[in-house]
Amino acid sequence: MARTEVLIAVIGVTGAGKTTFVSRATGRSDLQVGHGIDSCTQDVIPVTYTLDGRKVTLIDTPGFDDSERSDADILGLVAAYMADTYEQGTLLTGILFLQPINQPRLQGSEMRRTRLFKKLLGENAYQRVVIATTMWNQLTETEATARQNQRMSRTDVWGDMVARGAAVVRHDDTAQSAASIVRRLASHTTPVELQIQQELLANGGRVALTSAGRQLDEDLGAVITKLRDEIEGLRRERNVAAGEIQELRDKIERYERERQELQETDLLTGGYPEKYWGLKKILVASLERALPIAAMAMANECIIL
């Protein structure tokens, strides 16, 4: 059934211009926009306005690769919000993925972030995705176009999403550009379920057991292995400063903490904000049907109704 309300998630790395996009699209000037490596968006923030006579809500999400918060923390927060809206029967119309085009080459962090994004969505949702490239004003037209085309041509970046219906567009940081992108997503008349929403309900709210959670854990493990190899290489060299090795050890410790945090992220007991407790209720209701005694004990211990 078609619906008049439009719900669009805005996702991307810190500094991609998510909040700026929302500001341009809605005409709101009171949204806090970051201008450095630190994200100003610390929570999932829905912003509602009217476009072409329709109610549109843009969901501004915290950025991945943030200097203050781990990707595991961001994934848990986004998962909690998406699961809660899923429980309420409110599904997305589309997903906007913002990607700066000013990077000189494809970096490991961008590849990891793209893999995580794909696992969060699931292949069936690719046709509801618009990938909007930003920061075109920092490059020549030729350079920016080449970098965008490179990502579109590779199946391990955007190519597989494009093949399944995702669109790649240029965002010029104007109100007109933002409105055009929102209209493209709003043209879909039925909602879409994300893979992470379905998986969280199926596995009892354990983020680590979702495809996105497994991908993040795998990528963190790969980074830790690479850092350990670097330490071994430095040990074989002469005149290597102890501080350099310690810096790598500190990074390993940080990523190991993030992996542990991911494993412990449970939407039933993880201390997420009260506004996300709706998911806890539906998960416990599902458990009650399967395991009445155990589920009731869990509800009494973990949930405030």
pLDDT in tens, 242-255: 788 889 999 999 99
Sign of the CA dihedral with 153 first, then 156, 157, and 160 last: positive
**Rounded Cα gap, residues 94 and 191, in angstroms:** 8
- Measured distance CA(12)–CA(132) in Å, rounded: 10
- Its pTM stands at 0.80
Report the mean per-residue pLDDT for the chain: 83
Per-residue model confidence (pLDDT) at position 38: 43
Q: How far is CA 243 from CA 50, 227, 237, 238, in A?
A: 55, 15, 14, 14
pLDDT for 238 beyond 70: no
Residue 299 has pLDDT above 70, yes or no: no
- 3-class SS letters over 217-228: HHHHHHHHHHHH
User: Above 90 in pLDDT, residue 47?
Assistant: yes
CB atoms within 10 A of CB 52: 10
Per-residue pLDDT tens over the stretch 148-194 = 999 999 999 999 999 999 999 999 999 999 999 999 999 998 999 99
CA dist 254 → 37, 71, 242, 280 (Å): 18, 12, 18, 29
